[in-house]
Structure 1
Amino acid sequence: MLKILIIDDDEITNFITTTNLTKMGYTNNLVVTNGQEGIDYLLANQCPELILLDLNMPVMDGWEFLEVKERLKICPDTPIIVTTSSGRPEDMEKTDSFNNILKYMVKPIDFEKVSTLLLELHKNKIC
């Protein structure tokens, strides 16, 4: 079963995300509320098949999460969808410097696009 790690500090977004993923048949979802919790989870568990990552969070933001994840080579092949409220072009461009970013998605999350990406991942056997 596909495991999806959601790293986002917004409770409403997390509820909407897990509800929509469950409706699409993806029920193995784990939510953590900041990048440090995400790193801790990745270090202690098997890599998820997908990470949904917010950028603006307390404790450790999404940028710091990406930097630590790459520096420590944690789950290097796990694809990431960045989900953020920032539509700034410079943020979109900055994600290009990180590995395995599948998509930069400005909230609200477009679950039709997420579904298409998940189907594509399955088709290409990336996850």
Structure 2
Amino acid sequence: MSRVLLVEDNETTNFISKLALRSAGLEDVDEVLNGMEACSYLEKGCPDIIFLDINMPVMDGWEFLDEKKTKIPCKNVKVAMLTSSLRPSDRKKAENYPCVIAYLEKPLTKEKVEELKQKIAT
């Protein structure tokens, strides 16, 4: 896990997430502000993992995941939902997407990143 894409419309959250990722040794981090921008990004290259918010303007996280299933290259890229949603229905819905390997509550921390790195490595 070295190339990371943050898909989040809140720049403060992106700043905090980048700090956590860098403190966990991940320096190659890009960010986009919604699912539509993420689709465009993925047409040019594939990150190792995407941290994806659910509620965003233009194209939300669920719409992005549906697009990813059918139209986006990068079929093997892993996704970690990074959200403030505590709804059990959202967590359950995320389980329906095979690419989603984690459902994390904001904010992202170094500890959460380290746990995810361990999960991917095994």
| TM-score, with length taken from structure 2 | 0.93
SS of 1:55's equivalent in the other structure is coil
Partner amino acid, structure 1, of 2:47: P
C-alpha RMSD of the superposition: 1.4
Which runs of 5 or more structure 1 residues have no equivalent in the other structure? none
Is 2:102 the partner of 1:103?
yes
Match of 1:91 in 2: 90
Q: Percent identity?
A: 39
Are the equivalent residues in 1 in contact too, given 2:20–2:109 (CA < 8 A)? no
Name which structure has the greater RCO, CA cutoff 8 Å, separation 6+.
2
SS of 2:26's equivalent in the other structure is coil
Is 2:19 the partner of 1:5?
no
Residues 80 and 94 of structure 1: CA distance in aligned 2, closer, same or farther (over 3 Å): same
Q: What is the deviation of 1:43? A: 0.9
Partner amino acid, structure 2, of 1:112: E
CA distance in 2, matches of 1:32, 1:73: 16
Match of 1:65 in 2: 64
CA distance in 2, matches of 1:111, 1:57: 24
**Structure 1 consecutive aligned stretches of length 4 or more whose deviation exceeds 6 Å:** none
Match of 1:116 in 2: 115
Q: What is the deviation of 1:113? A: 2.1
| TM-score, with length taken from structure 1 | 0.89
CA distance in 2, matches of 1:68, 1:120: 25
Q: What is the deviation of 1:99? A: 1.8
Is 2:47 the partner of 1:48?
yes
Deviations 1:16-67 (A, max 9, x none): 011111121100000000000000000122x110100000001110000000
Match of 2:15 in 1: 15
CA distance in 2, matches of 1:111, 1:24: 6
Q: What is the deviation of 1:120? A: 3.4
SS of 1:97's equivalent in the other structure is coil
